[in-house]
A and B are shown apart, each in its own frame.
Chain A
Amino acid sequence: MAAELFRRGLRDHGRALVGWCAGAAAYVLFLSAIYPSIGSSPDIEEVIQNLPDAVKGFFGLGAVDLTSGSGFVDTELFSIVLPLIAIALGIGSGARILAGEEESGRLELLLAYPLRRRSATLAKGAAVGVELLALALVMLVALAAASLVFGLELPFGHLVGGVAGVGLLGLLHGWLALALGAAVPNRGLAIGVAAAFAGVGYLIGGLFSLASWVEPFRFLSSFWWVGQSPLSSGVTWWHLAVVAATALALLLAASLLFERRDVMTP
């Protein structure tokens, strides 16, 4: 049954997943360890206030207080690093699990077994989802632990929201890559287009507050939807629901697209 493809998807990517999780946890702990020395030094704030407004605006500096634990974690982790880790894992996994397997020729025998392409796609999408869930949980635990150990005093509700946003960001891009691979049997294309979407989203997310002509396009930025300072300002839950719904729509699209086309042999 298709559930076997879910199992295999996780198993085949298990080692890589452990690597991503360990890397994310290590980075969180390493960065948080720096906080005590920054939090007690008001000079940093002065340095930031002296930066050009455009730089501050793009990187979201100045809007938050870097000397507070929440502001520090928002700036150092949630603005780019954690989303990047989740997106990279999501895109890599989403592109590999369908288009990658197809390009390697391993999918042909499996699809000659009695299962629907729809179910196969959904099972593979579920494996990508569980990988991101695992990553998000590791991030949550690492951040909660770091908050206690290094005195970041992160509000737990905001922390959960922020990590959920990062996980959904990874899921959105992962299922986008899956859907691209379901439409065209090309792993490189799936990675490239999904990564470009992430890049554009990041740029718009950084620029919309600076350039008024960008502002109407902020809805196209996945980063804008999840929010870039979740610990200082909290997340807007219905925004996260929109991201989750979009991701689900992409997964559904993937299953329909893959149902229609010819399977490629290398």
Chain B
Amino acid sequence: MADAPAIATHGLTKRYRADVAALDGLDLEVGRGEVFGFLGPNGAGKSTTIRLLLDLIRPTAGTASLLGLDTRRDGVEARARIGYLPGDLRLADRLTGREQLDSLARLRGTTRPELRDTLVERFGVTLDRPIRELSKGNRQKLGVVQAFMHRPDLLILDEPTSGLDPLLQEEFRLLLRETASEGRTVFLSSHSLDEVQHAADRLALIRDGRLLRVDTVAALRAHAVRHVTVTFAEAAEPAAFAGLDGVRVESADDRVVRLAVPAGAMDAVVKAAAGHPIADLVSAPAQLEEIFLDLYRAPPDGG
């Protein structure tokens, strides 16, 4: 079990109503020591997935395991080894931060005060004021501390940096990297690419309850469309590119032609361009943002 995947799901499906699948046959495997990004627009099924993993809701079909422990049968043992930060964190408003953390530590039954204190210091957590008086960001910091303070083997984080200022977001990314380097696993769910692209090793894309794609950030970039700008020595002839497979002429303006080129068509583009004297040629990968927007927009089954 020591080398069981941090998260494994098989055909995991949840229907709140008979005709709508909030999650539809999710097959996912997250290895130990990964920072895994789980990306999708609001309502894609991210929170449903997380709530199934935590056994807060029960699957209509399929199974899931955390660290080799079945989420239904061995849920308590599994949850003893994970830390969770909800997307919509609701704490006990009347308690102070310190009382809230103490209470949660007692609820868990294990405490590592020195680890908690380190986190409190690192994120500048306000401990001695009632939680109802705290800003969203300061509450979120308490959420971060409670998720990490028992040194769990797996962290399940739902939009963790919402409300944190940029400096703390950077500190948080560092914490994630440290966690992964210790062989522990981070499952990072977000609708925002910014939140995950610098932290995650691999990304899963989910939309309408279905997994669209799982890949490394580097591979996603590598497979993405290139933006190629060719500057000719004399007036350009964009028609030369229009016939190439998958290539799109984005603009043609006197001597400058801008093209969107799929990864496999680069060779043909360069050869086509070489028929005329070239002054300059620039190729830039698409922003990851574009890749995701394209995937989000694609029709569900068309690819």
Listed in ascending order, the chain A residues whose CB lies under 8 Å from chain B are 1-5, 7-8, 12, 104-106, 108-116, 261-263, 265-266
Are B107 and A1 in contact, with the CB atoms below 8 A?
yes
Listed in ascending order, the chain B residues whose CB lies under 8 Å from chain A are 47, 51, 54, 56-58, 76-77, 79-80, 82, 84, 86, 88-92, 94, 103-104, 106-109, 146
A114 CA to B103 CA, complexed, in Å:
14
- 8 CB-based A-B contacts, threshold 8 Å: A5-B107, A8-B92, A105-B90, A108-B90, A111-B54, A112-B84, A114-B80, A265-B47
Which one of A1, A8, A108, A263 has the greatest number of beta carbons of chain B within 10 Å? A108
- Residues in B with CB closer than 8 Å to A106 are 90-92
- Residues in A with CB closer than 8 Å to B84 are 109, 112
Are B109 and A1 in contact, with the CB atoms below 8 A?
yes
Are B88 and A1 in contact, with the CB atoms below 8 A?
no
New A-B contacts (9) at CB < 8 Å, excluding given A5-B107, A106-B91, A114-B77: A3-B106, A4-B106, A109-B91, A112-B54, A114-B108, A116-B76, A262-B56, A263-B56, A263-B57
Are A112 and B79 in contact, with the CB atoms below 8 A?
yes
A248 CA to B267 CA, complexed, in Å:
77
Are A112 and B107 in contact, with the CB atoms below 8 A?
no
Are A113 and B90 in contact, with the CB atoms below 8 A?
no
Question: Top 3 closest A-B pairs, CB basis?
Answer: A114-B80, A105-B90, A262-B57
Are A110 and B57 in contact, with the CB atoms below 8 A?
no
**Distance of A13 from chain B, by nearest CB (Å):** 11
A3 CA to B82 CA, complexed, in Å:
20
Q: Which of B77, B92, B107 contacts A12 (CB 8 A)?
A: B92
A110 CA to B82 CA, complexed, in Å:
13
Are B103 and A8 in contact, with the CB atoms below 8 A?
yes
Are A104 and B79 in contact, with the CB atoms below 8 A?
no
Are A109 and B86 in contact, with the CB atoms below 8 A?
yes
Residue of A nearest to B93 (CB): A106
Q: A104-B90, A106-B90 are in contact. Are A112 and B56 (CB under 8 A)?
A: yes
Are A110 and B86 in contact, with the CB atoms below 8 A?
no
**Distance of B84 from chain A, by nearest CB (Å):** 4
Q: A262-B57, A263-B57, A265-B88 are in contact. Are A113 and B94 (CB under 8 A)?
A: no
- Residues in B with CB closer than 8 Å to A108 are 56, 86, 90
- Residues in A with CB closer than 8 Å to B146 are 109
Tally of contacts, chain A with chain B, CB under 8 A: 65
Are B107 and A110 in contact, with the CB atoms below 8 A?
yes
- Residues in A with CB closer than 8 Å to B103 are 4, 7-8
**Distance of B112 from chain A, by nearest CB (Å):** 15
**Distance of B20 from chain A, by nearest CB (Å):** 15
A110 CA to B106 CA, complexed, in Å:
11
- Residues in A with CB closer than 8 Å to B76 are 114-116
**Distance of B127 from chain A, by nearest CB (Å):** 18
- Residues in B with CB closer than 8 Å to A109 are 84, 86, 89-91, 104, 146
**Distance of B240 from chain A, by nearest CB (Å):** 56
- Residues in A with CB closer than 8 Å to B104 are 109-110, 113
A104 CA to B86 CA, complexed, in Å:
14
**Distance of B46 from chain A, by nearest CB (Å):** 13
**Distance of A64 from chain B, by nearest CB (Å):** 45
- Residues in B with CB closer than 8 Å to A116 are 76
- Residues in A with CB closer than 8 Å to B54 are 111-112
Which one of A7, A8, A112, A115 has the greatest number of beta carbons of chain B within 10 Å? A112
Are A112 and B94 in contact, with the CB atoms below 8 A?
no
A261 CA to B107 CA, complexed, in Å:
22
A115 CA to B80 CA, complexed, in Å:
8
Are B90 and A4 in contact, with the CB atoms below 8 A?
no
Are A105 and B107 in contact, with the CB atoms below 8 A?
no
Are A12 and B56 in contact, with the CB atoms below 8 A?
no
Are B90 and A1 in contact, with the CB atoms below 8 A?
no
**Distance of B55 from chain A, by nearest CB (Å):** 8
- Residues in B with CB closer than 8 Å to A2 are 107
- Residues in B with CB closer than 8 Å to A12 are 92, 94
Are B106 and A1 in contact, with the CB atoms below 8 A?
yes
- Residues in B with CB closer than 8 Å to A111 are 54, 56
A4 CA to B92 CA, complexed, in Å:
13
**Distance of B197 from chain A, by nearest CB (Å):** 26
**Distance of A4 from chain B, by nearest CB (Å):** 4
Residue of A nearest to B109 (CB): A1
- Residues in A with CB closer than 8 Å to B88 are 105, 265-266
**Distance of A92 from chain B, by nearest CB (Å):** 17
A5 CA to B109 CA, complexed, in Å:
12
